[in-house]
Amino acid sequence: MFEYINIKLAKTKGSKKLRKLIRKLKNFFGEKDPGALDFKFSTKPSRLFIVQSFINKKKFNSYLEIGTFDNELFDHIKCKNKVGVDPFSGGTHRMTSDEFFLQNRDKFDCIFIDGLHHYDQVKRDINNSLKFINDQGIVLVHDCLPENIEAQSVPRTITNWNGDVWKAFAEIRANPNLDSYTCLADHGIGVIFKSSNKKPFNFKIKNFKKLKFLDYYKNHYEMMNIIEYEDLIKII
């Protein structure tokens, strides 16, 4: 039922009435709310500061952004070669990320993923990005740390929304061949390196889409391997 509503929501661009209806259905039929988290993001660095600092420190020459929307980030990133992909606005390529990766032949030093915040799409974006990232490059994933159950609800029910990006990143955390962290800043920025996993989390599940917010709520620091920017930049 929720998958059908999700499609309707996408077609109507998320009207307030439909969001309200979905919220009521979720509250009645969905997972119970365990409470809220407070990551104090307002005191942390912005994604612009973090992405640019990575580019500067590593002397990266190529940058790809998936989900440019209004160019809030893309326009301000300073990098020799920039590519931005969005089906609606911003960037340099007007197409979906799936379409872009099918025709792309270039590799990048830094890729920032901020497209459709649904587990299946984020998983595809991560896997495709890993194919086109240089060996010493970095893949970044926005919105990995929702603070409450509504913020990660799919379909979308609120304006400030992270989606279930965290589930896709949790799956990366279980990969022994990828070292991954979540920077405690700007709604959670997942960071992926093509090297062995230094701190794997033991997930007792194979289908990561079925993870519950309660699992995340109880284990978010270890599950997402949360790290402060100051410690992360030392690793990079």
Structure tokens at 155: 């379909």
Domains and CATH numbers, the chain: 1-30 (no CATH), 41-235 (3.40.50.150)
Q: What does the radius of gyration of the chain's CA atoms come to, in whole angstroms?
A: 17
Residues near 74 by beta carbon (within 8 Å), at least 6 away in sequence: 65, 68, 82, 84, 90, 91
Q: Which helix (H) or strand (E) holds 216?
A: helix 213-224
Alpha-carbon distance 225 to 24, whole Å? 33
Residue from 189, 215, 210 nearest 46 by CA: 189
Long-range Cβ contact pairs of 26-33 (< 8 A, separation 24 or more):
26/2, 26/153, 26/157, 29/1, 30/2, 30/153, 31/149, 31/212, 31/213, 31/214, 32/214, 33/148, 33/149, 33/213
The confidence score (pLDDT) of residue 31 equals 83
The confidence score (pLDDT) of residue 28 equals 42
- Give me the tens of pLDDT residue by residue for the chain, a chain 236 residues long: 444 444 444 444 456 665 555 555 555 446 889 999 999 999 999 999 999 999 999 999 999 999 999 999 999 999 999 999 999 999 999 999 999 999 999 999 999 999 999 999 999 999 999 999 999 999 999 999 999 999 999 999 899 999 999 999 999 999 999 999 999 999 999 999 999 999 999 898 999 999 999 999 999 999 999 999 999 999 98
Contact 79, 86 (CB under 8 A): no
The confidence score (pLDDT) of residue 204 equals 86
CA distances to 5, 71, 90, 167, 219 from 215, in Å: 25, 34, 36, 10, 6
